[in-house]
Amino acid sequence: IMIVPGYGLAVAQAQFSVADIAKNLRAEGKNVKFGIHPVAGRMPGQLNVLLAEANVPYDMVFEMEEVNEDFNDIDVTLVIGASDTVSSAAEDDPNCSIYGMPVLRVWKSEKVFVLKRTIGNTGYTGMENPILFKDNTEVLLGDAKNSCEALRTALQQS
């Protein structure tokens, strides 16, 4: 399981809920990693700091270049509040403003769950992220903190 946080996680202050999700999954014997894009958030390192604040163990947190080749072997990726840093358009669409920018290749996972506030939120590119429309992607709309808290509760009850 790969968790990819973005600026939306930071704005919603969902780091504690997502930390609990990761710890619960790990306690169930799941291999859980966090994949961090170097410019996720509003400044480099912002997501690393938020995860550290929520006491996510450092051995669960990986930089993009450490995990990008792993996505083909990932069963589930949970994208929380990230858009441009996980956009397949950066690799597939030469007309995209971020074409050529390294991104986390989340769409290569078997299943992708994207937590977003709204579908129309386009990020820096000004276009919707193509991963939202891929067959292996499900979108959960809502505030990241509320969505993560609901997921945490569901996991604790299962």
For this structure, is 99 an active site residue? no
CA distance 49 to 154: 27
> In the chain, where do the E strands start and end?
2-5, 33-36, 61-63, 76-80, 111-116, 137-141
Contact 96, 87 (CB under 8 A): yes
15-27 vs 144-157: helix crossing angle, rounded to 10: 20
CA distance 46 to 126: 23
Whole-angstrom distance between the N-terminal and C-terminal Cα of the chain? 17
Cα dihedral 43→46→96→118 (10° resolution): -120
| Catalytic hit among 26, 58, 124, 152 | 124
| Catalytic hit among 26, 42, 99, 152 | 42
| Catalytic center residues | 7, 42, 124
